[in-house]
Amino acid sequence: MDSDWGQRSSQELMSRYVSKETGYKVPKEGWRICLAHEFKEKRKPFQAKDVSLSNIFKHVGLGVRYLKWWYKKTKIEKKAPFIDMFGAQPLNQIYGAPLGGIGGGTITRGWRGEFCRWQLNPGMYHYKTVNTNQFTVCLRRDGNTVYQQVLSVEHPPAFQSWNWGYCGEYAFYHALYPRAWTVYDLPGQNVTLTCRQISPIIPHDYQDSSLPVAVFVWDVENRNDFTLDVSIMFTMLNGSGLKDDESGGHWNEPFHLEKDGEAVMGVVLHHCTTVNPYTLCMAARHQPDQVISHQTAFSPKGTGSGLWSDLITDGRLDSPTGSSKPTAKGESVCAALAVSCSVPAQSRNTLEFSLSWDMPEFTFGSRERQHCRRYTRYFGSGGDASPSLSHYALTHYTQWERSIEEWQTPILQDGSLPSWYKSALFNELYFVADGGTVWTELPEDADVSGGLRSEDGGLPAQPDIIKEFGRFAYLEGQEYRMYNTYDVHFYASFALIMLWPKLALSLQYDIAGAVVQQDPTVRLHLMNGQCSAVKTKNVVPHDIGDPDDEPWQRSNAYLIHDTADWKDLNLKFVLQVYRDFHLTQDAQYLQDMWPICVAVMDSEKKFDLDGDGLIENSGYPDQTYDGWTVTGPSAYCGGLWLASLCVMCKMATLLEKQDSCLEYRDMLDRGSAAFDKLLWNGTYYNYDSSKRNFSNSVMSDQCAGHWFLKASGLGEGEYQAFPKEKIQRALKSVFDLNVMSFAGGQMGAVNGMRPEGVPDRSSVQSDEVWIGVVYGLAATMIHEGMRDEGLRTAEGCYRTVWEKLGMAFQTPEAYSEKNIYRSLAYMRPLSVWAMQLALNASHVDQSTSAQTKATEGPKAFL
């Protein structure tokens, strides 16, 4: 199923692996890489110097205004800008699957084993690799240590007494999120270690999926003809590599927790900062044939000889009693935990560790409100839950794995699906947890719609679904720091609605509540230099806020454009409302959302300037492509408008709103005729109808409206907005031009392509590839029976990101054909789940067709 060029790409990642060992029960499917691999291509983030001369002239004003705003934000207010054009994150080709559940913070381990990306304070990332945080193996035979090695390929300046520099050619990493495996074939020892990393990311689970924990299961295989004593030591810094690690007052303590006949032991690391204090907890599960030992505190400075010698002497640590002293200012502290067992000849044994962290309550950057994380509903908010979290993780991870396997196995065993797709589908889900994600309890005094009740076009103050399942928010990107950016969530939302539908609906209620509110505060918008209100009533917000401010309280952190005049946001809300209802059949949700949909459609009508039933764009980038000017009726926004009219007709029918149905049907009929007349050129829909030099460019995203209709079970018969033959013709044009005529057909679909087969370079975004858009395009192709074309289109993006550019677990918003990328670790690529929805639908259609033929028999041929 995989293409020849794709197979070569995958094989390159493992080309330096010299061992024949495959590890213990490591699955076939996933993303696999040898620890000695080096990516050949090194890209740089998009910067001002990458803008063409013609586009620089267009954006001089923006540049000057942004510079002034950036200086005020960073130098005077001492805040982080929501987008830092001068501090883009450089590409580190090191990241692996993040640790932890949803909304409790994340710690990312690199594929070489580093603890290297941290998001404990909500939405605020830092990228310090903490060299102290390691696993070390000790092998002993007949009472003597014969091998002791830090399981790291690095040679850091810290701890010079330790044996660093594991040979990466004897190890590989394999990720199938939310699990990952690292296999070490210890050179010359006839011992293979398989470390399995498990995080509680479980579809349709709203309890365990919220837990800030991860489990490390070490399977030790002894292929020798003699018994070995094996110890694994886990070391951890009290902190995350920031300055506050040395702020003083931090301390560690050992613990022993026995419950329900299961004992767990470890060390709790109390990180006592003034703002958002937390604990880390290293723990191990006690087994009758194993010994757990610890070192409560040791210094990360110096050679580390004391701890190294302690382990090498007898494979155990000293295990002092009592707590460590609080650190002095300028001092930091670490802890260590070791588990030892005997492994008979030609046999295997298993050691179990966990890591948990407990920041039960937090404040965002404004420090105005205290927020309580979801998991506190089950483990309390006292700040003392990390031992209990560890105990729960170590005694429940086997249940998590069963649930994960029940979810993933049908897809993994589907021989009609290529291997790269299976990896993309599950591994791109990392962003649900590692998107700066917060999942909180709804405060008792919260009112999601600002006092406007349902009878007046608003919502209940505290909708039942938010009260029961909590509030959910994730960033547009780790570098684009805005929560629930709605034009992008439109694409990413498929992952939530398919896997955690209650969170998807909760988010929708929050957006709906924001729609009916306003913020009349006047501010400068950076693109046009004009002042307008932060938030206009009855329009969908761009986002619900910046984590360095106060999300939910103050929306629209994005201030480049005044998004009240954007043409796509309102329509994307309407389309998601019906798509969500179609997939959940939640009648109360549909009832609650109807007046909000009517309000935003009423706001949208004003963009139909000539009364032909079709909205017009306003001659600037007034939609998600916020650097690509569009004028007059356009394929993208016009298509979203027609699709929204179509679903409004459907919802009105379901809710028995006959007058509304007739009104929207009239606009749909007139708008469809205008859309066809103004934009269809015989082979595809023009970018826009302005007759400018680039108005007839081929936009890869031109069928977005139709995509959502198909995803909602519509798009045919009474609820069809676009002729099927024209959609299929347009998709073929996109495949031939944007995909196969770009980069040899091996990098996905470029946003804009000229009819003559060269990329549209009229803007800073038209010649980019947007991975999340490509996955949505691929889903549309699959819906239309173009399965092979859809898979080929998406494959180019996966191969480029995960195998060529080294961007695993940091899929960006965009890359160009050469040299640059933009915005690492971005929300939109979660749209890969739209492909799975399309594949599911195609299977249903095929089954229905087969059943019909079987039932009808010869009649089918009459």
Look up residue 720 and give its amino acid. Answer: Q
273 plus 244 within the same structural domain = yes
What local confidence, expressed as pLDDT, does residue 860 receive? Answer: 30
With respect to residue 394, please indicate whether it lies within any of the assigned structural domains. Answer: yes
- Residue 284 sits at the vertex; the CA angle it makes with 282 and 286, to the nearest 5 degrees, is 155
When pLDDT is averaged across residues 554-562 and rounded to a whole number, the result is 96
Distance in angstroms (rounded) separating the CA atoms of residues 464 and 128: 40
Nearest CA among 809, 838, 736 for reference residue 199: 809
Residue 134 counted as domain residue: yes
Query: What number is the average pLDDT over the span 187-204?
Result: 98
Q: Is the dihedral of CA 472, 475, 481, 486 positive or negative?
A: negative
Asked, for residue 859, whether it belongs to a domain, the answer is: no
Confidence of residue 276 (pLDDT cuts 50, 70, 90): very high
CA distance to 342, 681, 856, per residue, from 737 (Å): 62, 15, 41
Final residue in a domain of this structure, among 61, 87, 113: 87
**532: enclosing H helix or E strand:** strand 531-535
Residues 530, 533, 539, 541, Cα dihedral to 10°: 90
Strands 371-372 and 334-343: unpaired
Whether the upstream peptide bond of residue 621 has omega within 30° of 0, thus cis, is: no
Cα 272 to Cα 794: distance, rounded to the nearest angstrom: 46
Tens-place pLDDT, residues 82-125: 999 888 999 999 999 999 999 999 999 999 999 999 999 999 99
Per the CB < 8 A criterion, the answer to whether 842 and 783 are in contact is yes
pLDDT tens digits, 357-375: 999 999 999 999 999 999 9
Residue count (the chain) = 862
Side by side, the strands of the sheet bearing 95-99 are 95-99, 106-110, 115-119
Position 858 scores a pLDDT of 36
Looking at the fold, whether 82 and 18 belong to one and the same domain comes out as no
Same domain, 491 and 366: no
Tell me the angle at which helices 569-584 and 587-605 cross, rounded to the nearest 10 degrees: 160
- Exposure of 520 in the CB half-sphere (CA atoms within 13 A): 0
What is the longest distance spanned by two Cα atoms in the chain? 90
In angstroms, rounded to a whole number, what is the distance separating the alpha carbons of residues 298 and 35? 29
Domain boundary among 87, 110, 145: 87
The answer on pLDDT for 850 being more than 90 is no
Q: Give 47-82 pLDDT, tens digit per residue.
A: 777 777 677 777 888 989 999 999 999 999 999 999
Q: Whose CA is closest to 137, among 184, 104, 81, 175?
A: 184
Domain containing residue 67: 47-87
55 and 134 co-located in one domain: no
Structure tokens at 564: 């009240």
Are residue 380 and residue 468 in the same domain, yes or no? Answer: no
What's residue 328's pLDDT?
97
Query: Residues 6 or more apart from 616 whose CB is under 8 A from it?
Result: 607, 608, 609, 610, 631, 632, 633
Mean pLDDT in residue range 765-778: 98
* pLDDT reported for residue 849: 57
Q: Are residues 349 and 296 in the same domain?
A: yes
Domain match, 81 and 100 both: no
Q: List the one residue out of 172, 138, 129, 135 whose CA is nearest residue 151.
A: 135
Q: Residue 215's pLDDT is what?
A: 98
Single pTM value for the model: 0.96
Per-residue pLDDT band for 856 (boundaries 50, 70, 90) equals very low
End position of a domain, from candidates 604, 632, 666 = 604
Confidence of residue 847 (pLDDT cuts 50, 70, 90): low
pLDDT at residue 759 above 70?
Answer: yes
Asked if the structure places residue 503 within a domain, the reply is yes
Any domain includes 642? no
C-beta separation of 249 from 255 below 8 A = no
CB-facing half-sphere around the CA of 208: CA atoms within 13 A:
23
How many Cβ atoms are within 10 Å of 254's Cβ, its own excluded? 21
- Taking only the tens place, the pLDDT of each residue in 694-752 is 999 999 999 999 999 999 999 999 999 999 999 999 999 999 999 999 999 999 999 99
Residue 635 falls inside a structural domain:
no
Number of domains in the chain: 3
53 or 690, which is more confident: 690
Instruction: Please determine, for residue 382, whether its predicted confidence score (pLDDT) is greater than 70.
Output: yes
Please give the sequence-ordered ranges of beta strands (E in DSSP) within 739-786, or none if there are none.
752-753, 769-770
Q: What is the pLDDT of residues 450-492, one digit of tens each?
A: 999 999 999 999 999 999 999 999 999 999 999 999 999 999 9
Is 69 found in the same domain as 27? no
Q: Alpha-carbon distance 382 to 25, whole Å?
A: 39
Main-chain dihedrals φ then ψ at residue 198, nearest 5 degrees = -130, 130
Q: Is the pLDDT of residue 338 over 90?
A: yes
In angstroms, the Cα distances linking 398 to 392, 395, 421, 424, 716 are 11, 7, 26, 24, 45
Q: What is the mean pLDDT of the chain?
A: 95
In a shared domain, residues 107 and 122: yes
**CA pair distance 816, 828, nearest whole angstrom:** 17
User: pLDDT class for 7, splitting at 50, 70, 90?
Assistant: confident
- Residue 175 resides in a domain: yes
Task: List the one residue out of 493, 823, 835 whose CA is nearest residue 626.
Answer: 823
What tokens appear for 264 in the block? 């767990």
For residue 834, being part of any structural domain is answered with no
Q: Please state, in angstroms and rounded to a whole number, the distance separating the CA atoms of residues 732 and 740.
A: 11
Do 16 and 162 lie in a common domain? yes
> What is the 3-state secondary structure of 126-139?
ECCCCCCCEEEEEE
Beta bridge partners of 280: 269, 357
Q: Which H helix or E strand runs over 141?
A: strand 134-141
Sheet of 44-45: strands edge to edge? 44-45, 820-822, 814-815, 769-770
CA 57/CA 54 separation, integer angstroms: 6
- Closest alpha carbon to 17 in 169, 130, 141: 169
Q: Residue 812, CB half-sphere, CA atoms under 13 Å: how many?
A: 25
> Which of 85, 65, 359, 329 minimizes the C-alpha distance to 213?
359
Same domain flag for 132 and 228: yes
Does 403 share its domain with 521? no
Strand runs labelled E in 713-753 = 752-753
Report phi then psi at 751, rounded to 5: -55, -45
